[in-house]
Amino acid sequence: MHLPFGNIGLLLVAGFLAGIMNAVAGGGTFLTFPAMVFIGIPSVAANQTSTIGVFPGQVASFWAYRNILAAERRIVLVLGLASLFGGSLGALVLIQTANSAFDRLVPWLLLFATILFAFGNDIRKQLGWRLSKTKGGGQLGWSPLSKAAAVQFVIGLYGGFFGAGAGILELAVLDMLGFDNIHLSNALKVILTTAFNTLALIVFIVLGNIFWPQALITALATISGGYSGAWVAQRLPQSWVRRFVLFVGITMTVYLFVRAG
């Protein structure tokens, strides 16, 4: 399949910036997804192709965060399994969804994720949700961890259905559950979004409609952006990262409502 040079350039730029955004705050798919729609890919297929394209960048970010995640193996294992199952179910729902229905739903999904991130801490306090460390050994108890796993399954379902904005939603829920360190939250976000995209990716490859040349071009760019972004994110003040997350969420929500209208 022949791709115009301009389309290749657009996908490379969108992929590189998406890799950085996913590592720093989330929302990178809101660059790759519109780019693929812009070059003529139908929206449901564009979402599937975008998931394939950003996945290598997520893996690269995970490698950059490996030292932080090594100290949270229990959390990663339990929440990661919940992500895997949720993501596979969400992907199966997506491939049965019409393009027109998907286009109408997209802006509302991101609006929900952005509001949850902005006010997640207040909501968490009202609900009394917090993942607290036990006195002996510093591990989370099974009760709060199982509650987190149930929430994570829902996020995986969302992420498998609609990858864009899932990272912002992930950060929002981690904040609600009491993860006050944004850098730890970012590390967990990277591995959990990678987890729910793993089975979603398999579902899309087997049953979906992937535009492979566009996916591979994007993937090459996101690898470089993903590793670079994780390195940058760990060296920025937490307040800067939070503001960037909100900026991404608000900007992309407005853009998609205008596009849908």
pLDDT, residue 139, reads 57
Domain extents in the chain: 5-260
User: In Å, what is the CA distance from 7 to each residue of 16, 213, 230?
Assistant: 14, 11, 27
pLDDT, residue 205, reads 93
Q: Which residues of the chain have pLDDT under 50?
A: 133-137
pLDDT, residue 238, reads 64
Compute, in degrees rounded to 10, the torsion defined by CA atoms 25, 238, 146, 27.
-10
- Asked if residues 50 and 218 have their Cβ atoms less than 8 Å apart, the reply is yes
In tens, the pLDDT along 49-107 reads: 999 999 888 777 777 677 766 667 788 888 889 999 999 999 999 999 888 888 888 88
pLDDT, residue 63, reads 72
Cα 23 from Cα 225, distance rounded (Å): 8
pLDDT, residue 125, reads 66
pLDDT, residue 1, reads 56
